[in-house]
A and B are shown apart, each in its own frame.
Chain A
Amino acid sequence: MFPDEPSYRIDYDDLDVVDLVSQIRAKVDRATQNIGTPPRTPRADAEQLWKHLLVPDDHLEELRSLLSAPQDWNVGPEDLVTSRRGVWGDLVRAVRHLARPLLKLVANAELPLYKQHKINLGIAAALQQLLEENARLRAALAADNATSKTRTSSCDGRAN
């Protein structure tokens, strides 16, 4: 496949399979780079990763404020009786409370609502974790950029 490459270093008396596979991998990587794929460095990999992981600022804020108010997005069994019609709402709520056992007899909507409630909380907790991880990555990226700039300017200084 790669005829111009030097042959492998193989100690036939003491074969090292892991070493030989590493040599094969290195050769494959070099060949991949030669046909135009940008060289992979840890930093390039990290930037690619960050590009996918980092969410735009406004989305982050939106998400953060939404997660902080579960009453605005979550559902639960209480929603079956809730009403927001002021004084009339109190009456409606009372009637719904009274009718609840009857409703439950016909169709028990409370159970699926409760399950959905728990699922939503789980998703919210996972999103919260992602937000925290994102914040950590941003901080790491900022620190890395700062170090990198310092290093570059120091190199520039030596070159000059």
Chain B
Amino acid sequence: MRLAVVVQRYGVEITGGAELHARLVCEHLAPSHDITVLTTCARDYITWNNSYPRGIADVNGLPVWRFPVSRSRDPVRFGKLQERVFCREHSLATARAWLDAQGPYTPAMSRWIRRNKGAFDYFICFSYRYWTTFEAMRAVPNKVILVPTAEPDPAVEIPLFHSMFRDARAIVYNSHEERDMIIGITRNQRVPGDVVGVGIIEPPETCGERFRAAYGIEKPYVLYLGRIDDNKGCPQLFDYYTRLYASMLGSGTEPPLLILAGSAAMEIPIHPGIRYLGRVDEHDKYAALAGALCLVMPSFYESLSMVLLEAWAVGRPVLVNGHCDVLRGQTVRSRGGLYYLGQAEFGEALRVLSSDARLCQTMGQSGRTYYESNYRWPVIESKYEAILEQLAAVDANGGATG
């Protein structure tokens, strides 16, 4: 099939979020389909400043059309509009103004889609909340397969988006929790869809011991991987960990270290138990996971946590914030770790994992089985194929008009 993939940013330099998700899906569907990526020239997701050259580029063998962003995001105006739209009753016009301010505002892409919609069978649009997806949906409603990547934040409740969830041809959800939330809010249960998620870059053969030697880490450690950011729950993690550290030292127990790897978007406390490694490459990432007691994920909002899958892929358990439905749901379904709802539970769960190697091994193994059954690429690809075939069958019978 001829598929266009619409996403707000695209490039090998973008190593996380819906953008990486989109790129991995494109690259895995490419052998069986004719894929064209439609994206913006932006690399920075805060300002959407044009960084890549406009026009067509080749990214890992796929044609990528980049369209210029006409207006960079004005954070002050956007913040004011967001406050109105998230916290107060608002008109459709205000919501639309918020969406335009959020961007990436790319009318050239919208025009291109309208002109060329006949050249594609379906448009797979990533991230419901961005201008690019909204406009693609308006341009070709009968051809859009939506990958919402929605989190339980106020944006999903904005009425402006509800028709989008109801009018999409199909929806590819990241998790059961995301599906339940969207159906609950928008009543779109008649729209075909499946919980698919995304695979990960397959882990290489790794050795935790080599990682320990390379970074001079001798003690047991728990690992946090990803952007170190307020929005990821890191301040709470630091608070819980430093209190646990003091309490364990006080009771004569050696506390595990907290190792952080990823880009830092907030100040990291200077503490004898915390070590920040900066950004690490794929090999070191998996080696760090393989050598960890467990992966800790303190985020409150996730639509699917790829690092959880990465931990399970190398057979390590996870310790997640139980306030996040998706993380808790994934952990319970996989039996691949524990969750906590407060500092005391965090501390006790970590103590249990630190002191019971058999439990860690069993949970790591369960997580690995869960990953292999649900998130390896052949499984993901077959779910996408099933959705595409289902839509094609309906269209062949004259079920939709383009």
A110 to B380, CA, bound (A): 59
B247's closest neighbor in chain A, by CB? Answer: A1
Please, which residues of chain B bring their CB within 8 A of the CB of A28? 342, 344-345, 348
Q: What is the number of contacts between chain A and chain B, taking CB atoms within 8 Å?
A: 49
A10 to B355, CA, bound (A): 13
When the two chains form the complex, which single residue of A3, A8, A15 contacts B362, counting CB atoms closer than 8 Å?
A15
Chain A nearest CB from B369 CB (Å) reads 11
Q: Quick check: is B232 within 8 A (CB to CB) of the other chain? A: no
Q: Quick check: is B358 within 8 A (CB to CB) of the other chain? A: yes
Chain B nearest CB from A133 CB (Å) reads 22
**A1-14, CB under 8 A of B: which get 1 and which 0?**
11100001010100
- Does the CB pair A15–B349 fall under 8 Å? no
- Does the CB pair B332–A17 fall under 8 Å? yes
B250's closest neighbor in chain A, by CB? Answer: A1
Chain B nearest CB from A33 CB (Å) reads 12
A10 to B358, CA, bound (A): 10
A110 to B72, CA, bound (A): 37
Please, which residues of chain B bring their CB within 8 A of the CB of A31? 344
When the two chains form the complex, which single residue of A2, A12, A17 contacts B338, counting CB atoms closer than 8 Å?
A17
- Does the CB pair B349–A24 fall under 8 Å? yes
Chain A nearest CB from B335 CB (Å) reads 4
- Does the CB pair A24–B348 fall under 8 Å? yes
Q: Quick check: is B197 within 8 A (CB to CB) of the other chain? A: no
Please, which residues of chain A bring their CB within 8 A of the CB of B345? 21, 24-25, 28
- Does the CB pair A27–B359 fall under 8 Å? no
Q: How large is the interface on A (under 10, 10 to 19, 20 to 34, 35 or more residues)?
A: 10 to 19
Q: Quick check: is A87 within 8 A (CB to CB) of the other chain? A: no
**B336-347, CB under 8 A of A: which get 1 and which 0?**
011111101101
Interface of B is mostly: helix
A8 to B322, CA, bound (A): 20
Q: How large is the interface on B (under 10, 10 to 19, 20 to 34, 35 or more residues)?
A: 20 to 34
Task: Kindly identify, within residues 44 to 60 of chain A, every residue whose CB is under 8 Å from any CB belonging to chain B.
Answer: none
When the two chains form the complex, which single residue of B332, B342, B362 contacts A18, counting CB atoms closer than 8 Å?
B332
- Does the CB pair A1–B248 fall under 8 Å? yes
A24 to B358, CA, bound (A): 17
A140 to B327, CA, bound (A): 38
Q: Quick check: is B251 within 8 A (CB to CB) of the other chain? A: yes
B253's closest neighbor in chain A, by CB? Answer: A1
Please, which residues of chain A bring their CB within 8 A of the CB of B322? 21
A2 to B339, CA, bound (A): 19
Q: What would be 22 A-B contacts, judged by CB atoms less than 8 Å apart?
A: A1-B251, A1-B351, A2-B348, A3-B251, A10-B356, A12-B358, A12-B359, A15-B362, A17-B331, A17-B332, A17-B338, A18-B332, A20-B338, A20-B352, A21-B338, A21-B349, A24-B348, A24-B352, A25-B341, A25-B345, A27-B348, A28-B348
Additional A-B contact list (8), CB under 8 Å, known A12-B359, A28-B344: A3-B251, A12-B362, A17-B331, A18-B332, A20-B352, A21-B345, A25-B341, A25-B345
